[in-house]
Amino acid sequence: MASEENETTPLLTNNQDTQGQIRNGRLYVAAFSAVLGSFIFGYAMVLPSAVIPQLQEDDDPRLHMNVNQISWFGSIFAIGAIVGGLIAMLMNDKFGRKHSIMISVIPSTAGFLMMAKANEWLLLLLGRFLTGIAAGITASSIPVYVSEISHPGVRGALGATPQAMIVFGGLALYALGLVLPWRWLAIAGEVPGLIMLILLCFMPNSPRYLITKGKWEEAVRALQWLRGPDSNYSTELNQIQQIVNSQLGMEFSDHKGPFYYKPIVISVFIRILQQMTGITLILVYLEPIFEKTAVSLEPKYDAVIVGLVRLFAVMIATCFMDKAGRKSLLYASAFIMFMAMLTVTVYTHKTSCDPGNITLAVPSATESFGVMTGFEFKSGTVIPLISIIFIALGYAIGWGPITWLLMSEILPMKVRGVVSGVCVMVSYITAFVLTQFFMQAVDAFGLFAPFLFFSVICVVSIIFTAVYVPETKG
pLDDT, one tens digit per residue, over 282-318 is 888 887 788 777 666 777 888 888 888 888 887 777 6
Q: What is the pLDDT of residues 53-67, one digit of tens each?
A: 888 777 777 778 777
Which is higher by pLDDT, 17 or 205? 205
The DSSP symbol for 2 reads -
Instruction: Map residue 368 onto helix, strand or coil.
Output: coil
Instruction: Map residue 88 onto helix, strand or coil.
Output: helix
Q: Is the pLDDT confidence value at 220 over 80?
A: yes
Q: What is the pLDDT of residues 81-122, one digit of tens each?
A: 889 888 888 888 788 889 999 999 999 999 999 999 988 888
1.20.1250.20, 3.40.50.300, 3.40.50.10860, 3.30.70.260: CATH of 257-350+379-473: 1.20.1250.20
Which is higher by pLDDT, 9 or 385? 385
Residues of the chain with CATH 1.20.1250.20: 23-203, 257-350+379-473
Looking at residue 413, what is its pLDDT? 65
CA R_g for the chain: 22
CA angle 230, 236, 238 (to 5 degrees): 125
CB atoms within 10 A of CB 240: 22
Looking at residue 360, what is its pLDDT? 36
| Chain-centroid distance, C-alpha 210 | 26
Looking at residue 236, what is its pLDDT? 79
CA gap 103, 108 in Å, rounded: 9
Percentage of the residues of the chain whose pLDDT score is greater than 70: 81
Instruction: Map residue 269 onto helix, strand or coil.
Output: helix
**At a CB cut-off of 8 Å and minimum separation 6, what does 8 contact?**
259, 263, 410, 470
DSSP state letters, 442-465: HHHH-THHHHHHHHHHHHHHHHHH
Looking at residue 249, what is its pLDDT? 52
Q: What is the pLDDT of residues 318-372, one digit of tens each?
A: 677 667 777 888 899 999 999 999 998 888 776 544 443 333 333 433 344 333 3
Q: Are 390 and 310 in contact (CB under 8 A)?
A: no
Question: Which ranges constitute the DSSP H helices of 61-181?
Answer: 67-94, 97-103, 105-117, 121-149, 152-159, 161-176
Q: What is the pLDDT of residues 160-217, one digit of tens each?
A: 788 789 889 999 998 999 899 989 999 999 999 999 999 999 999 988 888 888 888 8
Looking at residue 121, what is its pLDDT? 84
DSSP state letters, 298-348: -HHHHHHHHHHHHHHHHHHHHHHHHHH-HHHHHHHHHHHHHHHHHHHHHHH
- Average pLDDT for residues 17-46, to the nearest whole number? 86
Looking at residue 21, what is its pLDDT? 78
How far, in Å, are 67, 244, 410, 419, 423 from residue 265 at the CA level?
Answer: 36, 21, 11, 10, 10
CA gap 386, 306 in Å, rounded: 9
Looking at residue 196, what is its pLDDT? 96
Q: Are 39 and 165 in contact (CB under 8 A)?
A: yes
**Which numeric CATH code is attached to 23-203?**
1.20.1250.20
- Average pLDDT for residues 26-47, to the nearest whole number? 93
